[in-house]
Amino acid sequence: MSFANIGNSLNLPSEECYNVFNDSKGYMWICTENGLCRYNGKNLKIFNKDNGLPEGAVYYISEDTSGIIHVITSQNRILKIDISIELNLLKIVIEDNGIGRARSNEYKKVNLHNPVGMKLTEQRLSIIQKIQDYEEIKVSVSDLHDPAGNACGTCVELFLPLSIYK
């Protein structure tokens, strides 16, 4: 194993780092006060509230034996991210342990918060679908429930062609 000092050349979103993890695909994940960073040795991709994380601070990341990434945020939200290939499509499944869509909609009525993440994702996928004439692109959102029937999170499934260009 070799180490290199990369200093602040990555421009991390925060000076506070809580966890660093290397996954089975070779990515280095860095949990910070202002988001989760994925580093491939050359480029840094930052995931934060602006592009999909439920909270800014990410405290912990791990990977199970199936390759599913687990993320714990500052509000004890847990995200499970599973990426696989199914029927010649890229399948991305993201589950969280949040409050569910119904309760979230109640908060939106009394709060000024107007989330646009799903709308933007659907618009972007629609553009790709129209330009490339793909029928395979699909987004599915479902509520998760505990054994008593109470909402305990949300599951988002994305199905994308393996190649964006025909």
Q: Is 117 helix (H, G, I), strand (E, B) or coil?
A: helix
What was the pLDDT predicted at 148?
Answer: 92
Residues 106 and 165 in one domain: yes
Residues 86 and 160 in one domain: yes
Residues 4 and 15 in one domain: yes
Q: Is 61 helix (H, G, I), strand (E, B) or coil?
A: strand
Residues 104 and 156 in one domain: yes
Residues 94 and 144 in one domain: yes
For residue 62, give its domain range.
1-76
Instruction: For residues 76-88, give the mean pLDDT.
Output: 83
Residues 87 and 113 in one domain: yes
Sequence-separated (6 or more) residues with CB below 8 Å from residue 81: 68, 69, 70, 71, 92, 93, 94
User: Of 44, 76, 108, which one is at a domain's C-terminal end?
Assistant: 76
Beta partners for residue 25, in sequence order: none
User: What is the total count of domains within the chain?
Assistant: 2
Percent of the chain topping pLDDT 70:
81
Residues 63 and 102 in one domain: no
- CA 77 distance to own-chain centroid: 12
- Structural contact between residues 73 and 18, judged by C-beta atoms closer than 8 angstroms: no
Return d(Cα 37, Cα 157) in angstroms, integer.
Answer: 22
Residues 94 and 25 in one domain: no
Return d(Cα 110, Cα 152) in angstroms, integer.
Answer: 21
Return d(Cα 46, Cα 74) in angstroms, integer.
Answer: 17
What is the per-residue pLDDT across 104-158, written as a single tens digit (0 to 9) for each? 766 666 665 566 666 777 777 777 777 777 777 888 888 898 899 888 888 888 8
